[in-house]
Structure 1
């Protein structure tokens, strides 16, 4: 959250209150107050932060503040509420613009810490811009002089880039095309993989479009985050997920061996690390058995093994069904370490980071080509040893 300078509601510095921007009470917010009061019994107040308003029996209005005022006309009520516009527009933003008590409302309130700070503190911060991270997204929330929330959504790598230097969008559905390919033009089968391409921005979204944009970029992440906060996240663990598989994926059900379910640990370590997926894994082997590998640090939870995990596990099930054999190769200590470096670099996706001139790196392309030239025979066998030995 951006720093703010303490000030009074009139914008002058004070000891306790942050600097609050000047807010004008818009007509639609005032009309919403009148509509809400019309739906209440006389004397039943509509509560804002620090005060309330109600209708009286004579058709006037009551302001229940430090000094209680009764018999107010509609004009008097408007003037009183205009003096308290931050609180009224805050109510209007969440009750009428955002609406429903669900994931959208919870998400928007979370962005500006609306459940933990006062209106004055939040409006002061919003005036400067409140920033939140959601996966690889950077979301910046601001407030207009009418108390309206506006949101800038972009890739975190584009923080600070002027809007006119990015590809600007205003339709949340445009995000469907933005998430399809990574920056190298490769298809992204996992939308929560840390491979989102940048170069775009949604510079001026309202609360509802913000929610739709984020849910399009990272499907179901806000919904599952909200379920978790409410204690209602329905987690499907490995065993029950695999028992549902059928057809070509039914073979995964046979892969249920190993001390401590080590095979599932291998799958999770390969697929569910922060470097591969931005979700935080909440599923284990079964309801009573957790896994021995880290589940990640993402903001939003993963409630079950995804299709990428299931598909990979199917392939590994078949590969692991092969009987092991013993192969004998001769490697120098440096060559053994180089093979280890190559595997690490490929597994971590660091191959493109290794410069051609950096021959000290084990996964350097020229050094790897040298190792291949030295150890492979004309048929491509390592050490001249075929994978399938000839029958004797």
Structure 2
């Protein structure tokens, strides 16, 4: 997926955009020499648009349409300085970011390095490339030495000046930032859309930027990468439940029995985009998909998480109760009000309903009036079983 900034950069001017001036750092040049020293003579080192090799005499050969041979180390440095963008791009990903894997794939994805040219990316990086990852906004920029720097913050703070936010430089500081939501409540699910803002990591290098994202959203990049490589190992509901033991072993009794409606309810309750930023890839089992949409998150969910398992244990016990039929006297408006209250609680809208908004059925005063009318002195809803032998 290309960033719109990249698309805009690639379409300006005649063909390729103008590449920002980039210096060739000594570290990058030394890395080229080291890489060539580890290669057999005439074995090329590839950059975008040209290659470099050593000949049998220890001199250097540069090929990019026209062939230049017999270059001294000084000649090579001058030639590479003229092509500093391509060399620094190679150096960043080959030497700074390091080996192929989740980190490298993720940082290349940020700037669409597998789809856009160096010229297009460097022009876009000069302006800043923005990417979304869950509730994070990641902005990648470029120094005059071709180095990448990353600004990471909550997406809600995208337009807030950095000096107005709490600034951090150690990725591990994020462990405290993700513990509580904006109301001070503990966040048991790190991928819930409840990340508090007000902070910024304004100037991270590639490795620290990756570590920060993995600290805020553990294993999301790793699973995203496995999915891209076709290696995501998904553990479905039945397999996950089969390995539960102790107090969670009761979930194993909550089996299909001719249908998987109960698991649909679990997924609808816990795995909707409004509750979790992951995209659910697990199903009932290898042969049976759930009827509930898995969401649109960029990173996949490969198995039922601990929050789902814990909730399912409670629902297993509740659903094991013998159902009874109760009779209540409600006006049509009161029935609609009960529906509105349930919807408001389920959707987390209670705090958004103003006290003066008595048109909303979940309004606090409306709910208190309904409680005063229908509840007895012991706080029980005044319904009665239709079977006189049953107890409420």
Same fold (TM > 0.5): yes
Distance 2:380 2:258 in 1: 33
Confirm or deny: 8 A CA contact 2:237 2:304 kept in the other structure: yes
Q: Does 1:138 align with 2:143?
A: no
Secondary structure of 2:46's aligned partner: strand
Shift of 1:385: 4.0
Confirm or deny: 8 A CA contact 1:136 1:194 kept in the other structure: yes
Corresponding residue for 2:116?
Answer: 117
Shift of 1:5: 5.6
Distance 1:376 1:47 in 2: 77
Secondary structure of 1:69's aligned partner: strand
Shift of 1:57: 1.7
Corresponding residue for 2:373?
Answer: 374
Q: State TM-score, norm by structure 1.
A: 0.96
Once the two structures are superposed, what CA deviation does each residue of 1:75-115 show, in whole Å capped at 9, x if it has no partner?
Answer: 11111100000000000000000011100000001000000
Once the two structures are superposed, what CA deviation does each residue of 1:17-62 show, in whole Å capped at 9, x if it has no partner?
Answer: 2132110000000000000011111111111001011111222111
Distance 1:130 1:261 in 2: 44
Aligned positions of 1:260-275 closer than 5 A: 260-275=259-274
Q: Does 1:199 align with 2:187?
A: no
Distance 2:126 2:380 in 1: 65
Q: Does 1:102 align with 2:101?
A: yes
- Number of corresponding residues: 387
Confirm or deny: 8 A CA contact 1:5 1:19 kept in the other structure: no
Distance 1:387 1:54 in 2: 89
Unaligned runs of 5+ in 1: 8-12
Corresponding residue for 1:10?
Answer: none
Confirm or deny: 8 A CA contact 1:381 1:387 kept in the other structure: no
In structure 2, relative to structure 1, the CA distance for the partners of 1:199 and 1:389 (3 Å cut) is farther
Once the two structures are superposed, what CA deviation does each residue of 1:338-361 show, in whole Å capped at 9, x if it has no partner?
Answer: 000000000000001111111111
Shift of 1:391: 7.1
Shift of 1:388: 12
Corresponding residue for 2:286?
Answer: 287
Distance 1:168 1:387 in 2: 62
Confirm or deny: 8 A CA contact 1:338 1:362 kept in the other structure: yes
Once the two structures are superposed, what CA deviation does each residue of 1:263-295 show, in whole Å capped at 9, x if it has no partner?
Answer: 000000000000000000000000110100010
Q: CA RMSD in A?
A: 1.8
Corresponding residue for 1:251?
Answer: 250
Once the two structures are superposed, what CA deviation does each residue of 1:278-328 show, in whole Å capped at 9, x if it has no partner?
Answer: 000000000110100010000000000000000000000000000011111
Corresponding residue for 2:230?
Answer: 231
Once the two structures are superposed, what CA deviation does each residue of 1:199-235 show, in whole Å capped at 9, x if it has no partner?
Answer: 0111111111111100000000000000000010000
Once the two structures are superposed, what CA deviation does each residue of 1:226-267 show, in whole Å capped at 9, x if it has no partner?
Answer: 000001000000000000000000000000135421000000
Aligned positions of 1:306-317 closer than 5 A: 306-317=305-316
Distance 2:329 2:209 in 1: 59
Corresponding residue for 1:383?
Answer: 382
Distance 2:256 2:45 in 1: 61
In structure 2, relative to structure 1, the CA distance for the partners of 1:47 and 1:204 (3 Å cut) is same
In structure 2, relative to structure 1, the CA distance for the partners of 1:195 and 1:43 (3 Å cut) is same
Unaligned runs of 5+ in 2: none
Secondary structure of 1:239's aligned partner: helix
Corresponding residue for 1:353?
Answer: 352
Secondary structure of 1:260's aligned partner: coil
Corresponding residue for 2:188?
Answer: 189
Confirm or deny: 8 A CA contact 2:325 2:385 kept in the other structure: no
Distance 1:328 1:387 in 2: 6
Corresponding residue for 1:156?
Answer: 155
Q: State TM-score, norm by structure 2.
A: 0.96
Corresponding residue for 1:217?
Answer: 216
In structure 2, relative to structure 1, the CA distance for the partners of 1:350 and 1:235 (3 Å cut) is same
Structure 1 runs, 4 residues or longer, greater than 2 Å off: 1-7, 257-260, 383-392
Q: Does 1:18 align with 2:17?
A: yes
